[in-house]
Chain A
Amino acid sequence: MANSEALDRRIPASPLKQFAQRLEVRMLLLALLIAVCLSFLSPFFLTKSNIFNLLDQSVVIGIVAVGMTFVILTGGIDLSVGSVAGLTGIILGLSLQHVPIVPAIGIAVVAGGFIGLISGTLITVFGLAPFVVTLGVMAIGRSLAYIFSGQTAISNIPMGMQDIVYTNVLGIPSNVLFLIVLYLAAWAYLTYTKGGRTVYAVGSNKEAARAAGLNTTFYSILPYVLSGAFAAVAITFSISQLLSADPLMGNGMELDAIAAVVIGGASLFGGRGSMFGTLIGVFIMVMIRNGLNLMGVSPFWQGTAIGTVIILALLVERLVSARISR
């Protein structure tokens, strides 16, 4: 076979440039920059207790962002995670009145996964737009959370729930440890398994994935199931800390999760993104919020600050990546 023909249209980039081309790498630099700035702005930022505080605050949003990463990798979106978290929180609170802790959590997680299964099926099998389906589920979920709870918070949560958060393993709080293990597992799944690679392939080119024999239907639904289930897991940690289940819980969580995934370098068109990037995105979100709190900025201004950072980060990113790939 002819060896001499032209292999390339473009010359491959040097390893350093390829490294710099990775969006996660640039976002990591941004995260470090924010950390350095905040440590100058507030003397408390870099203290040990605040770092643990930061990690603690990352757990809930971090868990939700795992499911969201899967969904966005397939080119979808899940707007319902916040209200699913609220609803499954209420389901957990109610279950705890009747069954022990472990089965109660099981019920909540299965309920979350089931809601995701419905969304995913409507989107994949019936071809509805993910935005619209999850918007509908978002409204239904919040409404059911109010109805099931009788419009009030459930506060008689067993004290044993606190063990989930306040047990230390090797000096690391169990919720932080859970987050780390979850991210490692999700990364390994996405990188090394048939299912994980299929998720990427579906988001990148579903038609080609189907023609190559991949099970595109199953792996288009699975991310929504995971997203629903992880919303329930996340709210379990929240409830363990607060010892109360409120129908308003998880309000606005979907936006934080989507922002974290997008800041972490995922493409909303699918096929591009990573667990490492999402984790950085989560840290950036949490750091900004934490820093603003430390500096005593009014909570009403925090939304403006976070929104500005998201847009600026993506704008700078767009300008920089346009220059690098040229």
Chain B
Amino acid sequence: MQPMTAPLADRTASLAETGHSPLLTARDITKTFDRTRALQGANFELREGEVHGLLGANGAGKSTLSKVISGHYTLDSGELTYRGQEIRLRSTRDALRIGIAIVMQETSLVPDLTVLENIFLPELGRPGRLDYGQLRKRGQEILNDLGQGDSLPFDWEVRRLSSAQKQLVEIAKALGVRAKLLIFDEPTASLSPGEAERLFDIMARLRDTGHGLVFVSHRLEEVFAITDRVSVMREGRTVMNAHPTATLSQADLIRAMVGAELGAIYERGETHHVAELDAPVALEVRNLASAPAVRDVSFTVRKGEILGLGGLVGAGRSETVEAIFGLRPRSGGTVTLAGKPLKGDRPQTAIRAGLGFVAEDRRTQNIVPDLSVKENLLLAHLGAHRGFFCSYGQREKKMKELLAKLGMPEDRVADSSMLNFSGGMQQKIIIARWLLLEPSVLILDEPTKGVDIGTRASIYAMLRDIAAEGVALVVVSSDFEELLGLSDRVVVISDGRTIADLPSAMLDEESLTLLAAPRTSMVRNTEMLNDLAREHGGSGFWALIEGERLICLNAVVSNPALDPGFKAGQARELGATRIPEALRRREPIFVPEADRARTTLVVPMTSPRGHDLGWVGLSLPADRPLPAPDTIKSRIDTMAATL
């Protein structure tokens, strides 16, 4: 990195006056980890005085790009230009020195130092005595500029602060070194709605004082609420480069994130016929809660069925399956395995009841490195076994069968370490560890994580074989393509709640992405739909409508005769629904359908910041007196206004 020279500083100052000068430009950035190409031609442009949303599905490369910009990773090739000058960042210190900071989740704070010391941590590294009085004054100025004059106790140790306060310390710390470019990586993930609102105020102030902000988020509502422009990444590339947020719709963003042609996917959803399984229920989960990540999860899986648990990273999927298996305390709900309630006290109970669990992280949760391959294979047997000795002999025959299936020579079983095998083979051995016990339900958390593409196919084949033998499989995956390809049915979890349960043939990556995006409004919206549908004896729904197509976000039917013809997560042509008239007209009155049996009111829902949140509809029987449309509309507006 070259030092910033005085003339350059002058130049940027004069540019700042003209406004909207590019602060940072990234061109054709590539970055490879081992064999994974995390970035393969990423482009990005950030201006002064803007909040720039950076979006992408799981693993699209947005976090990697953020970390390249903030100096955590060095880029393999490509070009970073900051304030008109090409830069080479070797470390976060390089980035900080020129004014680039990343606000992460509490990770860069020292919990045992005070707030003030943390804000000025970079100063602690300098020789000479610290003038605490001076620092305190500067700290106060920074907070005042953020409009947060008295929200941080300077003398408290950071460990005593709430997540939101810690985040404020991070922001103040960045401003303490006069950072000009701030990257916020999923900043609202651990904040309450009120705290998130305050963060947005802070971000708006920073924007107005000429800072450039990058906002990385899964939450589309927030992206619309705070950003000026949006870039979308997919598979390590920038697929939408700096579009003004105001010109975009949710569907535009999702389309860019998924990268598929809408029409083609819709057709598939319509034509596929879904065979309903009538096999007995193997596992039933009702209203499961495990504080703080799992709030309300329900699903069932039948014998021989592959159920996918979809959602974004952090949605609470891993926590859900760990709570089912007894690795994590439950705070509510029930789990029923083959008709009998399953306690969640410890894994051994679950294993003996016939449950198997391949945990997400192979290295830390599955492999015992000092035991031989054979003993790793037999580890779950050891856990389930009652008796003083190991009794490995009991499983000898079954083990040979499995090894033959895995394509592993028998003598390799004696190898002293699992770590000599490829990731795919390790995963197969871990799966075989559970098959040895002949479980009735097998849960797999990210079964192809860190497995090369070639071996994935053979793991999928293996899982299908297992299901064909009558085992119920629950597969957690962040890869939506894998989820849809592998599962018979998909349950979507968002913010710790099940929000959709649909045959995978009815879903596509786009609708899955749309459903999985966490929505602050989902809970209250569901309540409202429930109330409306019950009070008036009809059915309610919440959907995005675009041209002739609709994507349903939520549907509540209290009168089966009034089913609108779509469920949460489904995409439909308007003509294929049972209420095409009302959906096409979208007038502020109840619109009767051609058969005169039902009449429907469709009302737009708008966020307090004026963004389109889709349409809420209420279908009622036509032969009864109708409520005043304005009453319904004002209820929806009131709900939306407080989101």
> What is the interface of chain B, defined by CB distance below 8 A to chain A?
325, 327, 346-348, 350-352, 357, 359, 364-371, 375, 379-380, 382-385, 387-390, 405-409, 412, 415-416, 420-422, 424-425, 433, 454-455, 457-458, 461-462
Comparing A77-85, A164-172, A195-203, A306-314, the segment that makes contact with chain B is A195-203
Question: Contact flags (1/0) for A297-326 with B, using CB distance below 8 Å?
Answer: 000000000000000000000000000000
Residues of chain A with a CB closer than 8 A to B388's CB: 193-195
Determine which of B379, B424, B457, B458 lies in contact with A209 in the assembled complex, contact meaning CB atoms within 8 Å: B379
A213 adjacent to B384 (CB under 8 Å): yes
List which A1-28 residues lie within 8 A (CB) of chain B. 1-3, 5-10, 12, 18
Give 15 CB contacts A-B under 8 Å.
A2-B407, A5-B424, A5-B455, A5-B458, A7-B421, A9-B420, A12-B412, A12-B420, A193-B388, A200-B371, A204-B370, A208-B368, A210-B346, A211-B365, A212-B351
Q: Which residue of A lies closest to B424 (CB)?
A: A5
Asked if residues A8 and B422 are in contact (CB atoms below 8 Å), the reply is: yes
Asked if B462 contacts A1 (CB within 8 A), the reply is yes
Contact present for B384 and A211 (CB under 8 Å) = no
Partner of A204 from B365, B371, B433 at Cβ < 8 Å:
B371
CB-CB nearest in chain B for A267: B370
Decide: A9 and B389 in contact? CB cutoff 8 A: no
Name the interface residues of A248-307: CB closer than 8 Å to any CB of B: 271-272
Shortest distance in angstroms between A82's beta carbon and chain B's nearest beta carbon?
A: 28
Q: Give the Cβ gap from A282 to chain B, nearest Cβ, in Å.
A: 22
Q: B420 to A201, Cβ gap below 8 A? A: no
Residues of A at the B interface (CB closer than 8 Å) are 1-3, 5-10, 12, 18, 192-195, 197-198, 200-201, 203-205, 207-215, 271-272
A7 to B418, CA, bound (A): 11
Query: A214 near B420 (CB under 8 angstroms)?
Result: no
Known: A5-B454, A197-B371. A212 touches B390 (CB 8 A): no
For A205, the chain B residues whose CB sits under 8 A away are 364, 367-370
List chain B residues, Cβ under 8 A from A208.
359, 364-368, 379
Chain B: CB-nearest residue to A188: B389
Contacts of A10 in B (CB 8 A): 420
Minimum distance in angstroms from B366 CB to a CB of chain A: 5
Known: A1-B458, A10-B420, A211-B365. A193 touches B389 (CB 8 A): yes
A10 to B384, CA, bound (A): 32
Is the pair B364, A8 in contact by a Cβ cutoff of 8 Å? no
Chain A residue with minimal CB distance to B425? A7
Q: How far is the CA of A8 from the CA of B375 in the complex (A)?
A: 18
> When A204-B371, A271-B369 are in contact, do A194 and B387 touch as well, CB less than 8 Å?
yes
Identify the closest chain B residue to A4 (Cβ). Answer: B407
Is A213 in contact with B454, judged by CB distance below 8 angstroms? Answer: no
CB proximity of B403 to chain A, nearest CB, Å: 11
Q: Which residue of A lies closest to B411 (CB)?
A: A12
Expressed in whole angstroms, the minimum distance between the Cβ of A201 and any Cβ of chain B is 5
**Most A-side CB within 10 Å, residue of B352, B368, B433:** B368
Taken together as a complex, chains A and B put the C-alpha atoms of A12 and B411 apart, in Å, by 11
User: Bound complex: CA of A212 vs CA of B327, how far in Å?
Assistant: 10
Tell me the interface secondary structure of chain B in the complex.
helix
Q: Which residues of the other chain, B, contact A201 by a CB distance below 8 angstroms?
A: 368, 371, 379, 382
| Contact, CB under 8 Å: A213 / B390 | no
Not counting A12-B420, A212-B379, a sample of 19 additional A-B residue pairs whose C-beta atoms are within 8 angstroms of each other reads A2-B407, A2-B457, A5-B458, A7-B408, A7-B409, A9-B422, A193-B390, A194-B388, A197-B382, A198-B382, A204-B370, A204-B371, A205-B367, A205-B368, A208-B367, A209-B379, A210-B327, A211-B325, A213-B350
Interchain nearest-CB distance for A15 vs B (Å): 11
Residues of chain A lying within 8 A (CB to CB) of residue B420 = 8-10, 12
For A272, list chain B residues within 8 Å (CB). Answer: 370
Question: Chain A residues with Cβ under 8 A from B347's Cβ?
Answer: 210-213
Asked if B364 and A213 sit within 8 Å, CB to CB, the answer is no
Q: How far, in Å, is B428 (CB) from chain A's closest CB?
A: 8
Contact of B425 among A5, A203, A212 (CB under 8 A): A5
Contacts of A200 in B (CB 8 A): 368, 370-371
- By a CB distance below 8 angstroms, the chain A residues around B412 are 7, 12
Given contacts A7-B421, A212-B347, contact A192 B369 (CB under 8 A): no
Inter-chain contacts of B375 with A (CB < 8 A): 197
B382, A211: Cβ atoms closer than 8 Å: no
Task: Decide: B422 and A214 in contact? CB cutoff 8 A.
Answer: no
- By the criterion CB–CB under 8 Å, are B407 and A3 in contact? yes
Q: Which residue of A lies closest to B457 (CB)?
A: A2
Select one of B364, B383, B455 contacting A212, CB under 8 A.
B383
Contact A8 B421 (CB under 8 A): yes
Provide the residues of chain A in CB contact with B385, threshold 8 Å.
194
Q: How far is the CA of A12 from the CA of B415 in the complex (A)?
A: 8
CA distance A201 to B368 in the complex (A): 6
List 3 tightest A-B contacts by C-beta distance, closest first: A213-B383, A271-B370, A204-B370
Q: Which residues of the other chain, B, contact A214 by a CB distance below 8 angstroms?
A: 348, 379, 382-383
Chain A residues positioned under 8 Å from B382 (CB to CB): 194, 197-198, 201, 212-214
Residues of A within 8 A of B454 (CB): 5
- Closest A residue to B455 using CB positions: A5
Give Cα distance in the complex from A204 to B375, angstroms.
Answer: 12
Q: Which residue of A lies closest to B465 (CB)?
A: A1
Closest to B434 in A: A212
A residues within 8 A CB of B387? 194
Neighbouring B residues of A203 by C-beta, 8 Å: 370
From B390, B422, B433, A197 is in contact (CB under 8 Å) with B390
Contact of A192 (CB < 8 Å), options: B389, B409, B424, B457: B389
